[in-house]
Amino acid sequence: MMPADVRPTPRWALSGLALGHASVFLWGAVVIPWQRFSLVSVSLAIAAASYLTLAVLAARGKPPFSRVWRAVSWASLAGLGVLIGLTLDAAFYLQALYGSLGEGIGVALAVAVAPVALLTLPISLWGLAVTGGVSTRARVSVIAIIVLSVFTLAFQARARAAVSPVPGPDISSIRFPLPDSDSVDTRAPVPYPGPTLYSPVPLDCAQDPAARGGRDQATVFLAFVSIAEGRIEPRLRCLQAPPEQMSDRIGQILTEGSFRLPVKIDVVTGVSRLRPSRLPIDMLALRPGLDGVCHRGRCLTPWQLVGANHFVRFQPLPFIPDLRLGVSGNALGVSLGRAEPSQAGVEGLTRVETESWLLTKGGELIRLHRLRPEVAELDAPRLEQARRAAESYILDSQDGSGIFRYVLDPYTGGEYVQDFVLPRQAGTTLGLCETLDTDPRRGEASRRSLRAMGEWERVIGDMGALVKPADAVSAHLGDTALPLIAFIACRDQLARNTADIAGLDETIGRMGRWLARMQRPDGSFYPSFDLLTGAPEQGPDPLYAAGQAIYALSSLERLAQSEPHIAEPSRVSEVVDRAMEYFSESYWDRRLLRLFFVEENWHCLAAKASLEHHRHDGYERFCLDYMEFKKRFILDENSRVAEAFIGGHGFGNLLPPHNTPTAGLGETLAAAMAIKQARGEPLGEDRVVLDKILHYLVRQQWSDAACFACDGRKLALGAFSESIASPVVRIDYVQHALSALTHGAPFLADRSDLR
């Protein structure tokens, strides 16, 4: 029997600590989005109740509270062990599903467990020490249980993630029938905008691919447009047969009626039953572009899941509605027509691994990787083709008023033209004006865009700022800084026609004077300007906008050297120099350089834009230090990620790289390389990294092959989506990719040392 109150105990300190622990654990049980009544939420609730009881007894000072403290200490350690076990189980499962993640899994595990361990271990070990200690026998038993549990969890997790292989046909050896133009039913009118493969309707299979009989035969998902009996419609078929008979089955289905190319083929190569996890990791149960899902013979292909935005459905934090990532088991169940209650999650669903093939419009059979064709050689013509395709998308997305289409869904063709955001409109316009050529479409597009932005100028004495909405009481730094960069870049392009720039110079001069007025005495910038009082407003350095302001003012300095009627060159030079000095010396703690940065892309672009007329060694070095830090996030062969992710900006296999951060890093790296070139520094390693970035971006671009299921108008051609998992196109995604291709391609013209 444990002796009662063997040592004096600090009542009030213990009561306060226990009450704090109870509050934290109660918050975790109620707020953190665990599955309802899961082991974790119940354990946290019990821990909260235990610590609350301990706090009350300790405050009262009654003799039994030492025994309660000891019991709570053991229970807390046991609860911590359960949480560590669940986290290890999740880590082992994800590692088996996504491959080796190396240090990433270890870091994620430590981050997940550390807060609870820091809360639990000190007070629990203190409690055991004060109330009698722990015997050697008990210590040995605990260690043995921990070791055995880890091995058991690893074995069970790998078993859960294990894939049962499914025999499949050799698609590359099949001779597919091609449509006979003479057999096309001419009674079928081709509707505008034309037929499309896309359909959100699940395919019906004779049996679930994971069923015993389903695993003994090949399963192929086939999608094509059928033209027969006066109807044009997408046809989705699930074919199941022995592998040696699959070629005949495919030919039979395609020749039953007239069809059009392309034909999408998904071959099931493996199946795995999904089981709910006790931690919220079910959102990662399917891999975008690679896995489909089935329920009792009803299946959705990988491209259907992407097209229906299933990989941005899970909402981990209800109080942050815009935060969505990964799949939702409940939403999948609804799409598959599951009759179970909506809270069933992934229970009963089957993950199906697939190989992806496409019979193109030209009759060529190609393999798709994560729904994208492979880019074999990234030479100068291929880069120029990608750049022109992106530029063409932007030009086609502009309406008559000069505003660019903000959002496009490639699969449905749904468009959204927003009442534009000034910086995004300006950034897109800048992308068009960065390349000087004689394309009349670009010139007209830039004129319309400048006119659309110029309508929002608010004249303040001899200054001008772009203010939106019209009734706003403050003018924000970024709403004028980035548009001014675009105004000056487009002026260079429009200068061939003096009529185009007659009023533009006055606008540029007013905006430049306003930006100079927004500088603080130390060289930094105010975030906004009070239009009622006529004075800048105090606040922290605005993210992005400060770098854009330096870029704009430096561009103005260059322009003023040849056009002094726009601005006084010496005055603008003084403002630029003071800003560069601040951001290279005072803005960032020098001890943190090379260890941590936020987003400083625009400072690199500003430093590059200043190379010919305003060199500043410290500012250039700030950019180069920043890029040395950011290059760590570009995935390469040593990152042990899927091949399709190499060159992307990301953190491992769990979440696909996002295209805009990748493109932004590409254009920034190109700027840093231009600075290095001017400084006489080597570019070898940078060229290798840039090659990977641009290769990744070109793979992600919507090409004719990638757009096999797009809306019939193929509006997305040349565009870029958010990621492999999210098909929605936004105009700023395309703008950043266009800039990366424009500025990066010249550094890769000679590829002899990159092969």
SS (H, E, C) 413-477: CCEECCCCCHHHHHHHHHHHHCCCCCCHHHHHHHHHHHHHHHCCEEEECCEEEECCCCCCCEEEH
Residue 6, domain member (yes or no) = no
Question: For 509-535, what is the mean pLDDT?
Answer: 95
574 with 721, same domain: the answer is: yes
The CATH number assigned to the domain holding 711 equals: 1.50.10.10
Altogether, the residues listed in the chain come to a count of: 755
User: Number of folded domains in the chain?
Assistant: 3
Range in 39-43, 446-450, 601-605 with the lowest mean pLDDT: 39-43
575 with 696, same domain: the answer is: yes
Residue 364, domain member (yes or no) = yes
> The dihedral of CA 143, 145, 148, 149: what is its sign?
negative
Residue 5, domain member (yes or no) = no
Q: Is the pLDDT at 441 greater than 50, yes or no?
A: yes
Q: Is the pLDDT at 587 greater than 90, yes or no?
A: no
**Best CA proximity match to 700, nearest among 408, 407, 390:** 390
Whether 166 contacts 37, CB under 8 Å: no
104 with 197, same domain: the answer is: no
328 with 364, same domain: the answer is: yes
What is the distance between the alpha carbons of residues 84 and 749, in angstroms, rounded to a whole number? 51
262 with 384, same domain: the answer is: no
Structure confidence at residue 226 (pLDDT): 82
**Best CA proximity match to 734, nearest among 480, 457, 519, 424:** 424
Residue 422, domain member (yes or no) = yes
Range in 135-144, 216-225, 580-589, 600-609 with the lowest mean pLDDT: 135-144
156 with 171, same domain: the answer is: no
Residue 374, domain member (yes or no) = no
Choose one of 348, 369, 390: the last residue of a domain. 369
Range in 172-176, 574-578, 682-686, 689-693 with the lowest mean pLDDT: 172-176
251 with 310, same domain: the answer is: yes
> 230: alpha, beta or left, given left = phi > 0 and alpha = psi -120 to 50?
left
Name the token pair of 750.
């000679």
Domain residues for the domain of 131 are 11-161
Range in 270-279, 596-605, 734-743 with the lowest mean pLDDT: 270-279
User: What number of other Cβ atoms are within 10 A of residue 87's Cβ?
Assistant: 21
Choose one of 340, 369, 398: the last residue of a domain. 369
593 with 721, same domain: the answer is: yes
184 with 330, same domain: the answer is: yes
Q: Is the pLDDT at 692 greater than 80, yes or no?
A: yes
334 with 264, same domain: the answer is: yes
171 with 157, same domain: the answer is: no
Name the token pair of 294.
């089935």
Question: For 513-519, what is the mean pLDDT?
Answer: 97
Choose one of 326, 350, 369: the last residue of a domain. 369
Residue 175, domain member (yes or no) = yes
pLDDT single digits (tens) 406-430: 999 999 888 876 667 899 999 999 9
Residue 295, domain member (yes or no) = yes
pLDDT single digits (tens) 52-102: 877 777 777 665 667 777 777 777 777 777 777 767 666 666 666 565 444
Residue 420, domain member (yes or no) = yes
pTM equals 0.82
711 with 630, same domain: the answer is: yes
